[in-house]
Copies of this chain bind each other. A is one copy, B any other.
């Protein structure tokens, strides 16, 4: 993380008036429920949804290396909402005129430096349905690592250049797929680090399938 010269620090937290917010907003939904009773619900929403009707994509990625085990790249970045570093799969908002697949390939290249190919795309998912209208799709992608690159546990040294936006400071970490769950648990024990729920749930599902006693 060559650009990182200091720990980010929050200087002020204030109430944000809805009419001043640019990226998110609050809405009051009035509805009539299943038994005919009028009710209301408070909703946080993104203001950036484009034509595809999909707010965001996350890229569940498999990195293939000629001689090393298959791995996946996670990104670590300071997230002001948590005042912590999060461990996530590369992800991003879908631009106004993009398809989710196009957003996946573009954002993966920007955040990781690698070209990828889309293997599959999930149905639309509700990000956090009790609180927000935000939705997303999980795009599974593959990328090929040249023989000369690590592909198995190292940090960004030797990886292709990222194309980050101003203000983005994203560290890349390559984790063997077989170690994903254990490594996320380890990250969670570190000070000021938190794993994103979607990535953690995917890894927990892998771990469950491989270790549980019910089948």
Contact = CB atoms under 8 A, between A and B. Distances in A.
Interface string A1-36: 101111111111111111111111111111111111
A148 interface: no
Given A10-B30, A11-B30, A206-B209, A43 B131 contact: no
A116 interface: no
B15 A128 contact: no
Interface in A173-215: 177-178, 184-185, 188-189, 194-210, 212, 214-215
A159 interface: no
Question: What is the total number of copies of this protein in its complex?
Answer: 2
A196 B26 contact: no
A56 B129 CA distance: 12
B42 A16 contact: yes
A124 interface: yes
B26 A24 contact: yes
Nearest to A55: B131
